[in-house]
Chains A and B, each alone.
Chain A
């Protein structure tokens, strides 16, 4: 094992890991936004909205993320969508994880006891008030862990954007292998950085979960 090589490339990898984090953070924001809309649509009274929400979730969960990225980045220009790799990566990852997060959010809302809604309506809360003041605060607690699992999956899944030439951690690792032919050392450094990020995210999720747990 070539330790000096590993320490030499380390600074480049830290920089690349920051790109991975940036990608993940932006895709997370987009994903949460899409997920909230999709979950609201799937829970709404309107059959059309419900159908739109279901189609989004089903299509994005039923096909590989890699293909979704390829359609967007390589196929986009054919339909007038020209994105640079980073933007395509953020949008592709965000829309993909959004479909999974929509299910996490919907699951949490559905898991809140029906009696809570009934009681709130009985004492005169409107539908919106019931949702805002009674159901969502309780559902928010229940969705922390599943959304955390989704976020960890997003962080690891962000490696896929190396295939559309976004210069992040996995792409950087591949480039260094081309010049050093030391896959074990190079991928080892990348793996360490991924693990550090994954366990940092897992810790944050644990903390949030504890912070908002029902005492």
Chain B
């Protein structure tokens, strides 16, 4: 048993901060992807012809029923098998983005269904087409009503993004592992990484809280 000594972290502080920066980049880009595809999947499941809706439903079913880690392996190593060699960072963003898109789609779908039928009827009766009604009337209300669960999905995404370290993406966990391989001090570095995640988490929660209040006020 060797004593704890957190001063070993100091020389690696820059490395850890770069890792935290890449964790943020991953979270934001996968978050944007998961939001856009969340809406797309929800609309497809609800309105598209069966030939499109069924494959998307199957995809959602598979993504909700299997671990994210397995999905990342499948995307990263599986695509190589069929001759598509994408960089790890892209595989990580796509994997995280699709995984959470499926959860967002589930929430948004319920949100769309919950928008009052009178809203659609009203829009149609003043001459809006089907698409314009969806785009300008139904979806904005559905998104606004489902903002809190979409926010929790984003918070989950931040934490789950740590998993992409297994396919070699240089984010926070990977930075910590690099430092540990030189210092053999796993406890100090993983605790420090945990503290950085905790701070990122607080920042994200505060930002979401402000955004939700803003949405409330503009209602």
Residues of A within 8 A of B (CB): 59, 62-68, 70-71, 74-80, 156-160, 162-163, 170, 173-174, 177, 181-184, 187, 190-191, 194-195, 198-199
Contact = CB atoms under 8 A, between A and B. Distances in A.
A187 B70 contact: yes
Interface stretch (B35-43, B74-82, B105-113, B127-135): B74-82
B81 A71 contact: no
Interface of B: 1-2, 4, 61-62, 64-70, 73-74, 77-78, 80-82, 159-163, 165-166, 173, 180, 185-188, 190-191, 193-194, 197-198, 201-202
Given A64-B159, A64-B160, A159-B70, A182 B62 contact: no
Contact of B162 (A62, A66, A195, A199): A66
Nearest to B80: A183
A75 B67 CA distance: 25
A57 to B, nearest CB: 13
A163 B166 contact: yes
Contact of B163 (A66, A74, A187): A66
B184 to A, nearest CB: 9
Contact of B159 (A63, A76, A163): A63
A177 B77 contact: yes
Given A78-B2, A195-B66, A174 B198 contact: no
B162 A194 contact: no
Nearest to A58: B198
A188 to B, nearest CB: 8
A191 B191 contact: no
Given A75-B186, A182-B81, A159 B69 contact: yes
26 contacts: A64-B160, A64-B162, A64-B197, A67-B190, A74-B180, A74-B186, A75-B191, A80-B1, A156-B66, A156-B67, A157-B67, A159-B68, A160-B67, A170-B73, A177-B77, A183-B77, A183-B78, A184-B78, A187-B70, A190-B70, A191-B62, A191-B74, A194-B67, A195-B61, A195-B66, A198-B66
